[in-house]
Amino acid sequence: NKNKNTEYIEKSHEKEEYRGKKAAIAAALHRDAIDDGGNDENEVDDVPEEGLLLPPYSRSQLKRWQKAPFVKPQGELPGEMGKAVNIPIEQEKLMLDKFQENQFNLLASDMISINRSLTDVRFEKCKDKAYPNLLPTTSVVIVFHNEAWTTLIRTIWSTINRSPRPLLKEIILVDDASEKEHLGKKLEDYIKTLPVPTHLFRTENRSGLIRARLLGAKHVKGDVITFLDAHCECTEGWLEPLLARIVEDRSTVVCPIIDVISDTTFEYIQASDMTWGGFNWKLNFRWYRVPEREMQRRGGDRTAPLRTPTMAGGLFAIDRDYFYKIGSYDQGMDIWGGENLEMSFRVWMCGGTLEIAPCSHVGHVFRKTTPYSFPGGTGRVVNHNNARLAEVWLDDWKHFYYNINPGALNVPVGDVSERRALREKLKCKSFRWYLENIYPESQMPLDYYYLGEIRNAETSNCLDTLGGKAGQPLGMGYCHGMGGNQVFAYTKRKQVMSDDNCLDAAHPRGPIKLIRCHGMRGNQEWTYDSKTRTIKHTNTGMCLDKPEASDVWKPVLRPCDHSRGQQWLMQVDFKW
């Protein structure tokens, strides 16, 4: 990958300020990127540092920086080594009161050192991975609205303490119109004391995390932009794996493994390296198990970068120029939501790569509800953002979104012409291409015959998930024609699916359940005959029938007899 490395530098070189440094960089490049044989201090000395875009810090030097935190953790405070904090019973009321503020245990957070120690959660193999000698610098951009003091400051300190200093160009904070006193002058004064240049920008009005990040990105001086949420903790060696992928290929967008900081105890809990990002019909980001084919592509190496269909959105590194080239963010998105899938689809469809670097771990406080207001209403805002991404990137598959979430049809999407023009300009591929090549396991099926309600010919009632989760029985209801729980797809793989669940029957006498689609036929294979209108379950040879009198809202399986109760109306288009 030395060639790619050179290319990175050549491209960066087009900029005025780096002219004339070519020879020095070339010299640096000829060093063995892997050799870590003892004293290599001199390697750095013969290359002029000043003005170098990519300082030739050697691997052992980076290691030393990594090992010497600027501030040592304070030994005796609770939560050290990422342990859970237990609140004494007499403080429980205070704890619950404080929980309301940020929807996490602020009392616990306030008890933990802003420099708390964490265990090294990486695979052994990650610890002595060789990274290129030359890594780009990064600016870390953190946006926040009404964030608590200790979580924000701990995010900053964990970044400072666990990033090789030469690679950390600066920290850029963007205050998105917070109303908390501690985020005013107190914060301004505090950041002046930090050992890494830290800049604070404020949005004039509440602009939401997407436009706040755009404001932060505008000021970035590093080669790479690394975004973090304002309640994170970076772990040992988190940064190098991210930057190393970008130096190999500037169009790679890289995420760490996002570990869990408990919202109730602030315990640091390691997340699985066997999950990747997906999404459901409602366009919610969700974690799913990494399929075998991706494990094979990585040669079974769990430390190798994982190609993920989507990202969670809060924590990732991207080459600064590439960020703009690929269209930064959609300015028309408000407050929260949608931008993560929008960027994921855009990166893949327009020629980039989206990865998780399993050797990079960053903790994030996951909470159950958002603590802040959504001007305009949560539903409206999220529907607006998701509709924008559906209109620009999903092609025909946008109907899955609108069908399961018809409320989105009533929310104005605004003008998306610029985003569509961007897709044209970048000559991006189709959503079909994305599903075929990047995400064949997607919950939005690649090939399907039908999407809509499934009505019984005798009772005129419709199949209905009743909003049940995976494992719940399939229900029925009066047909309301509004989509949502009454929308099903009949797919080329012979599944009857609703969002990420499939009709599943394990026994000839039912029950018929909604089970997470596995795509392996088995108990989830059904054959629809558009002439007889029967839905026949392959494994049991039984037909889907109207409910029995004893339970009028539960469809059942019965021996096929072509009765009207076994006829189901679907406008199936067998186009494949």
Question: Rule CB under 6 A: which residues touch ligand LR7?
Answer: 143-145, 147, 176, 206, 208-209, 212, 229-230, 258, 285, 312-315, 335-337, 339-340, 364, 366, 370, 372
CA distances from 568 to 234, 299, 456, 458, 535 (A): 54, 46, 5, 9, 7
Q: How far apart are the first and last CA of the chain?
A: 43
Rounded to a whole number of angstroms, the minimum distance from the CB of residue 312 to Mn ion is 9
When the beta carbons of 369 and 571 are compared against ligand LR7, the nearer one is 369
Residue 138's DSSP bridge partners are: 168, 224
441 binds, among ligand LR7, Mn ion, none (CB under 5 to 8 A by kind): none
Rounded to a whole number of angstroms, the minimum distance from the CB of residue 201 to ligand LR7 is 12
Residues of span 213-252 touching Mn ion by CB under 5 A:
229
65 binds, among ligand LR7, Mn ion, none (CB under 5 to 8 A by kind): none
176 binds Mn ion (CB under 5 A): no
Residue 286's DSSP bridge partners are: 278
355 binds, among Mn ion, ligand LR7, none (CB under 5 to 8 A by kind): none
CB contact at 8 A, 401 and 432? no
When the beta carbons of 132 and 363 are compared against ligand LR7, the nearer one is 363
When the beta carbons of 229 and 236 are compared against Mn ion, the nearer one is 229
The set of residues, in sequence order, having a beta carbon less than 8 Å from that of 228 and lying 6+ positions away, is 140, 141, 142, 155, 159, 234, 314, 315, 362
Rounded to a whole number of angstroms, the minimum distance from the CB of residue 166 to Mn ion is 28
Q: Distance from CA of residue 177 to its chain's centroid?
A: 25
Task: Tell me the number of residues near Mn ion by CB under 5 A.
Answer: 1
388 binds, among Mn ion, ligand LR7, none (CB under 5 to 8 A by kind): none
Instruction: In whole angstroms, give the CA distance from residue 322 to residue 392.
Output: 20
Rounded to a whole number of angstroms, the minimum distance from the CB of residue 559 to ligand LR7 is 46
Rounded to a whole number of angstroms, the minimum distance from the CB of residue 233 to Mn ion is 12
Rounded to a whole number of angstroms, the minimum distance from the CB of residue 287 to ligand LR7 is 7
When the beta carbons of 151 and 495 are compared against ligand LR7, the nearer one is 151
When the beta carbons of 123 and 372 are compared against ligand LR7, the nearer one is 372
When the beta carbons of 160 and 487 are compared against ligand LR7, the nearer one is 160
Instruction: In whole angstroms, give the CA distance from residue 251 to residue 352.
Output: 5
When the beta carbons of 80 and 229 are compared against Mn ion, the nearer one is 229
When the beta carbons of 363 and 510 are compared against ligand LR7, the nearer one is 363
Rounded to a whole number of angstroms, the minimum distance from the CB of residue 97 to ligand LR7 is 21
Rounded to a whole number of angstroms, the minimum distance from the CB of residue 373 to ligand LR7 is 9
Instruction: In whole angstroms, give the CA distance from residue 440 to residue 538.
Output: 23
Tokens 């309600």 -> residue: 453
DSSP 352-408: -EEEEEEEEEEEEE--SS--S--TT-HHHHHHHHHHHHHHHH-GGGHHHHHHH-GGG
When the beta carbons of 18 and 366 are compared against ligand LR7, the nearer one is 366
Angle at 102 between CA 97 and CA 106, to 5 degrees: 60
313 binds, among Mn ion, ligand LR7, none (CB under 5 to 8 A by kind): ligand LR7
Rounded to a whole number of angstroms, the minimum distance from the CB of residue 229 to Mn ion is 4
Angle at 438 between CA 437 and CA 443, to 5 degrees: 105
Using DSSP, state whether 108 is helix, strand or coil: helix
Using DSSP, state whether 495 is helix, strand or coil: coil
336 binds, among ligand LR7, Mn ion, none (CB under 5 to 8 A by kind): ligand LR7
Classify residue 54 by its DSSP letter: S
Q: Which residues bind Mn ion (CB under 5 A)?
A: 229
